[in-house]
Amino acid sequence: MCRRSSVSGVHTDSPTSSKDERFLLGALSPQVGSSQVWVPAMRLRVVGAVLLSAVAYYVYLPLPSGVSEPWKLMLLDALFRGFMQAGNMAQALGFCHHVHLLNRMVSFVEDVQPLSSAATLVTDSLLGGVNTRVFVPKGGRKLKRGVIYFHGGGWALGSARMRSYDLLCRKMSEELDAVVMSVDYRLAPEAVFPDQYDDVLVAARAFLSADVLQRYGIDPERTCVSGDSAGGNLAAAVAQTLGSDHSLKHKFKVQALIYPVLQALDFNTASYQQNRVVPILYRRTMAHFWLLYLGADLSLEPVLLSNNHSSLDEPGIDAGARSKLSWSALVPPEHRKHFQPVVRQTGTPGVVEAVPALMDVRAAPLLADAQVLTRTPKAYVMTCEFDVLRDDGMMYVRRLRESGVAVTNDHYEDGFHGCMVFANLPMMSSVGRRSMNGYIRWLDHNL
C-alpha cells in the first residue's frame, strides 16, 4: 500500500518520490508553496553537478592516445596524487614525514597476512637477517627453481607484504614450481644508500648459500634475481656484484628486470621528455625519489631536472661515463623520435662532489664497465612506452648485448610504469595481465 501525504496541497507517493523531494518536503513548513519547494531542490542539483565536475576535473588527465585503458590509469593516478598530497600536507603541518604517511596509507589498503593455500606454503621469515616473505610450492619437482624478488617503490615505499606483490609471488611460485623469496629491505628516509643495496645483497648471498638451497630444495643451477622499478635497480646491482664475485660456488642463472631505474645523471632522455607528466611516475617524482635514496638535499630537485648536475663542466663525470648513458646512440630511433639531448655547457658546480653516489655503479648500474656487465647472467628487461624509465631499460639492453650477454627486451607499446603489479583487482589492467604473463612465461622458458 502506498502511504499518501500532503504538504501545502502537494501530494506524493513515497515509493516513487525522489530522495531529494522527500527530504525537502518533510523539512518544509505547511505554509511553504510548491514553487518554493523546487528552489532548494534545484540548488542541491546545482551543487551536486558542481561537485561532480570538480571530481571529474581532478581525475581527468590528458593521456597519450596509445596508453592502455586510460580511464583506469586516471583513477589510479588520482588516488596516488591524493595520497601524495595528504603526505605533503602532514609534513607541512609537522605531523610526520610525508613518506611515513604514504606508507601507512599504502599498508592500510594493501598489506596482507602470509596466508598459505592448497598449492603454496607462505611464511614470513628472515633471509640473511633481512625480513622476507617466502613462497614454497607444495608437491611438484623435488628440486625447485628459485627466485629472489625485490619490490619497487622508489627505495622509500612498498613492502613484500603488499597484496600486489603477494599475488605476483604466489603466481610465480605456483606456475614455475619455484621457491620465491620477496625481500623487505629498509626504506628511505631512515635508510639511505647504500643501506637498501646492502640489505638485498646480504639477502641474495644468503639465498645462494648451500644452507638455504638445501633447506628449501632449490636447484642451485636454476636461480633468478628479479625486481621492478627501484627493485629492478637493486636486482641489476646485485647481479653485477655477484657476477664478479669469484668466491661464490653458485651464481644466478638469470636476471629479470621490470622497468628498472638505472641512472640519475640524465633526467631528459627521450622517455623522460615524452612521459614527463604521464602517470603513475612523473619525472619530478623520480628525481625526488633519487634524492631521498641518496640522502641528498631535496632542494637539488630542479638542478637534477634541468641536468645542471651533469653539465659538461662537471669534472666528476668523464667522457667514458657519458658514453654509457648516451641515449641518442643507445636507444633505437623509433623510440627517440624527435627529442634531442639536453646537455648543459655550464651547470651547478659541486653536485657530484656533494652527492658522490650519483656516480656509484651500485646505485646507478648503467654506469658499470663492460667487463662487469659481461659477467652478469642472461637477462630479461621489461620496458613500457609510456614510462619515464623506458630509456634506462633500453640503454641497459644495448649495453648488455654489446658486452656479450643474451638479453630479451619485452617492450609494451601501451604500457605505463608499474603496470605489471596492477594485473589483479581492483584495477585489473589489461597490459598488467599481459606483462605479468609474459614475464612468467620467459622465466618458465629460461630458468
Please list the pLDDT of the chain residue by residue as tens digits (447 residues). 344 333 333 333 433 444 443 433 343 344 445 555 556 666 667 556 555 555 554 566 778 889 999 888 988 888 878 888 888 888 888 888 899 988 888 888 899 999 999 999 999 999 999 999 999 999 888 899 999 999 999 999 999 999 999 999 999 999 999 999 999 999 999 999 999 999 999 999 999 999 999 999 999 999 999 999 999 999 999 999 999 999 999 999 999 999 999 999 999 999 999 999 999 999 999 999 999 999 999 999 999 999 999 999 999 999 999 999 999 999 999 999 999 999 999 999 999 999 999 999 999 999 999 999 999 999 999 999 999 999 999 999 999 999 999 999 999 999 999 999 999 888 889 999 999 999 999 999 999
Residues annotated catalytic, as ranges = 229, 387, 417
User: Which CATH number among 1.10.10.10, 3.40.50.1110, 3.40.50.1820, 3.90.226.10 corresponds to the domain 63-447?
Assistant: 3.40.50.1820
Strands of the sheet containing 178-183, edge to edge, are 120-127, 130-137, 178-183, 144-150, 218-228, 254-258, 378-386, 407-416
Query: What is the model's pLDDT at position 20?
Result: 43
Query: What is the model's pLDDT at position 201?
Result: 98
Please tell me whether residue 379 adopts helix, strand or coil conformation. Answer: strand
Query: What is the model's pLDDT at position 37?
Result: 55
- C-alpha cell read off for 241: 656484484
Residue 283: C-alpha distances to residues 142, 264, 268, 289, 415 (Å): 46, 11, 9, 10, 16
Give the residue from 262, 292, 113 showing the smallest Cα distance to 186: 292
Domain boundaries, the chain: 1-7+18-26+33-59, 63-447
Q: Cα(59)–Cα(189) distance, rounded to whole angstroms?
A: 29
Q: Identify the burial level of 442 via C-beta atoms within 10 angstroms of its C-beta, where 0-12 means exposed, 13-18 middle and 19 or more buried.
A: middle
Question: Whole-prediction pTM value?
Answer: 0.87
Q: What are φ and ψ of residue 258, in 5° steps?
A: -105, 115
Helix axes 195-207, 230-243, angle to 10 degrees: 60
Query: What is the model's pLDDT at position 141?
Result: 84
Burial code (b: 16+ CB inside 10 Å, e: under 16) for 76-115 equals bbbebbebbeebeebeeeeeebbbbbbbebbeeeeeeeee
The residue ranges of DSSP E strands in 261-398, in sequence order, are: 378-386
**CB-CB contact of 257 with 382 (8 Å):** yes
Query: What is the model's pLDDT at position 56?
Result: 55
C-alpha triplet 134, 137, 140: angle, nearest 5°: 150
Give the type of residue at 132: T
